[in-house]
A and B are shown apart, each in its own frame.
Chain A
Amino acid sequence: MKRIISLLLLLVLLTLTGVNAQNNSARTNGTARSNAPVTLTLPNKEGGVRFLVMGDTGTGTDKQQQLAQLMLRYRQIFPFEFALMLGDNMYGGEKAVDYKQKFEDVYRPLIDQKVKFYAALGNHDDSNQRFYAFFNMDGQEYYRFTKGNVSFYSLNSNYMDKKQLDWFTGKLATDTSTWKIAFFHHPPYSSGGAHGSDAKLREIVEPIFIKHGVNVVFAGHEHFYERIKPQNGIYYFISGSGGKLRKGDVNKASALMAKAYDDDMSFMLIEIDDKEMHFQVVSRTGETVDSGVVVNQRKSSG
């Protein structure tokens, strides 16, 4: 009887969190293995919405290049169609040569394979990036696009003024998509020591997320990976080590953290298939450092 009760409790817990993450523990040796086999934990079904998530990329360093090469290798087995960029797309300068060295040269093989990049702006980004063809921002600092049953909202968390909030709530009010995903730079929740949770931003945007059924939020700014325990039914991820790393910055005792990785740079692979969002997080060293599935349990509120 006790065993049945324990099993039931476990089932309830899993249902409540909605995440069945494998929490792979990773061992890293700090070097990228260019020939290491790539392994996929995602279903990789035809018809799913498949994409990549990366943040804080704009350095143009060798390590960013290595991570990009790994993305390319993963694309051979997991043909993601597009990539979300979570801001800080360009560090230290915004001349034409910077766009080339910190973006075009790094991701040229993906660009050549027609992977589309959708950018958000960070605190190191000039507003004029919104005109850059490869960032697909349509001349806007905040914008929406859809793929299948998923709505994506790219927000400018660096300047969340009334105009943007009105636009966001207006768009959400008529959005009947199964999945509503917001991506922007500053994380509403974070276990980072250098920055931490952006409470002022959260105070403003989270009530909107809750009211209008935003399911998932991707943010950067913190130079590590973190999956936050679901907050008010929303799944928050941080993926801010696409070009920079703040090693050891995660507070391992944080009550917010479901899983974190700050040993090396990383990116996320995502696949959304109807009511499930599968995720896999890959480090520069080629190891899967987190993976799992988020089950959509919300009804569209419109």
Chain B
Amino acid sequence: MKSKQVLAIAGIIVVCIAASGRVLSQTPSPPPLSPADKQVADAFEKRAKDYVRVREALEAKMPPLSKEAKAEEIQAHKQQFQERVRAARAGSKPGDIFTPQASTLIRAIIKDEFKGRDRVELRNAVLKESENKAVPLRVNYPYPESQELLEMPPTLLLRLPPLPKQLRYRFVRNNLLLVDRENGLIVDYMTNALP
């Protein structure tokens, strides 16, 4: 083999390694949404942010929880926070955030993410192995502390519409919930989420 060919091959290898390094160094990007789906996702994110604005305003009126809190302080803060948000959102109902269009989009994303064996494993994890089957499906009610918070698959989280840090997606049975991570309230839910 001539030296030029060797150099060329070596160059290609170096470029390939460098390129793979760049890919690995970044958080994987999800496939882009169509313009119509993007509009639905944006509207969903806006509704989620609207909820967060309400709960942030309520929390701002409470004594802040220290980063070095005692257990009693954590319990008291959570309880007060729940009571205030529940009172402020007394009229909230299923579908306020998960509108029919948003639910349709999210179902399609989950279905596309979990195919074949992945789908079977997701259904097993959520429907059979989980320890959260006793969570009552009621908006503006607390997610019971005694119930497992099922791990959300990271590959799915990268594809679902992003949420403000105060909110979390959670699977419970065949439903997808929005749960407030601090006050533990079920903010909204959609049914038939699993593929």
- Residues of A bordering B, CB below 8 Å: 92-96, 98-100, 104, 123-129, 131-133, 137-139, 157-163, 165-166, 169, 173, 186, 194-195, 198, 200-201, 203-205, 207-208, 210-212
Q: Which residue of A lies closest to B151 (CB)?
A: A158
- A200-B155 in contact given A100-B71, A128-B78 (Cβ < 8 Å): yes
Cβ-based interface call for B35 (8 A): no
Q: Which residue of B lies closest to A92 (CB)?
A: B146
Cα separation A69 to B17 with both chains bound (whole Å): 51
- A96-B75 in contact given A131-B67, A160-B154, A161-B154 (Cβ < 8 Å): yes
Cβ-based interface call for B26 (8 A): yes
Cα separation A195 to B121 with both chains bound (whole Å): 11
Q: Which residue of B lies closest to A206 (CB)?
A: B24
Cβ-based interface call for B25 (8 A): yes
Q: Which residue of A lies closest to B68 (CB)?
A: A133
B66 neighbours in A (Cβ, 8 Å): 131, 133
Q: Which residue of B lies closest to A97 (CB)?
A: B71
Cα separation A289 to B27 with both chains bound (whole Å): 38
Across the interface, do B149 and A158 meet the contact criterion of CB distance under 8 Å? yes
A98 neighbours in B (Cβ, 8 Å): 71
Across the interface, do A208 and B24 meet the contact criterion of CB distance under 8 Å? yes
CB distance from A57 to the nearest CB of B (A): 15
Across the interface, do A173 and B162 meet the contact criterion of CB distance under 8 Å? no
Of B24, B73, B151, B165, chain A has the most CB atoms within 10 Å of the CB of: B151
Across the interface, do B157 and A159 meet the contact criterion of CB distance under 8 Å? yes
A132 neighbours in B (Cβ, 8 Å): 69-71, 74
Q: Which residue of B lies closest to A95 (CB)?
A: B75
Instruction: Give chain B's interface residue range (CB within 8 Å of chain A).
Output: 35 or more
CB distance from A285 to the nearest CB of B (A): 28
B25 neighbours in A (Cβ, 8 Å): 169, 173, 208, 211-212
Cα separation A207 to B77 with both chains bound (whole Å): 39
Compute the total of residue contacts between A and B using a CB distance below 8 Å: 111
Cβ-based interface call for B152 (8 A): yes
Pull 6 A–B residue pairs with CB atoms less than 8 Å apart, ordered by A: A95-B75, A98-B71, A131-B69, A132-B70, A198-B151, A212-B25
CB distance from B165 to the nearest CB of A (A): 6
Could you list 15 further interchain pairs (A-B, Cβ under 8 angstroms) beyond the known A132-B70, A162-B158?
A94-B75, A95-B71, A96-B72, A100-B71, A124-B149, A126-B145, A128-B78, A128-B182, A133-B66, A133-B70, A159-B151, A160-B152, A169-B25, A207-B24, A211-B21
Across the interface, do B151 and A157 meet the contact criterion of CB distance under 8 Å? yes
A204 neighbours in B (Cβ, 8 Å): 28, 154-155, 158
Among the listed A138, A162, A186, which residue makes an inter-chain contact with B157, where contact means beta carbons less than 8 Å apart? A162
Q: Which residue of B lies closest to A186 (CB)?
A: B151
**CB-contacts of B35-86 with A (<8 A):** 65-75, 77-78
Among the listed B27, B70, B148, which residue makes an inter-chain contact with A166, where contact means beta carbons less than 8 Å apart? B27
CB distance from B78 to the nearest CB of A (A): 6
Cα separation A129 to B71 with both chains bound (whole Å): 9
CB distance from A203 to the nearest CB of B (A): 6
A133 neighbours in B (Cβ, 8 Å): 66, 68-70
Cα separation A204 to B154 with both chains bound (whole Å): 7
Cβ-based interface call for B150 (8 A): yes
Cα separation A222 to B7 with both chains bound (whole Å): 50
B162 neighbours in A (Cβ, 8 Å): 161-162
CB distance from B170 to the nearest CB of A (A): 9
Q: Which residue of B lies closest to A100 (CB)?
A: B71
- A165-B27 in contact given A93-B145, A123-B149, A128-B78 (Cβ < 8 Å): yes
Cα separation A186 to B150 with both chains bound (whole Å): 11
Cβ-based interface call for B115 (8 A): no
B23 neighbours in A (Cβ, 8 Å): 207
Cα separation A165 to B70 with both chains bound (whole Å): 29
Q: Which residue of B lies closest to A221 (CB)?
A: B151
Across the interface, do B154 and A99 meet the contact criterion of CB distance under 8 Å? no
B151 neighbours in A (Cβ, 8 Å): 123, 157-159, 186, 198, 201
Across the interface, do B67 and A139 meet the contact criterion of CB distance under 8 Å? yes
Q: Which 9 A-B pairs have the closest CB atoms?
A: A99-B71, A139-B67, A160-B154, A133-B68, A96-B71, A211-B24, A127-B181, A200-B153, A165-B27
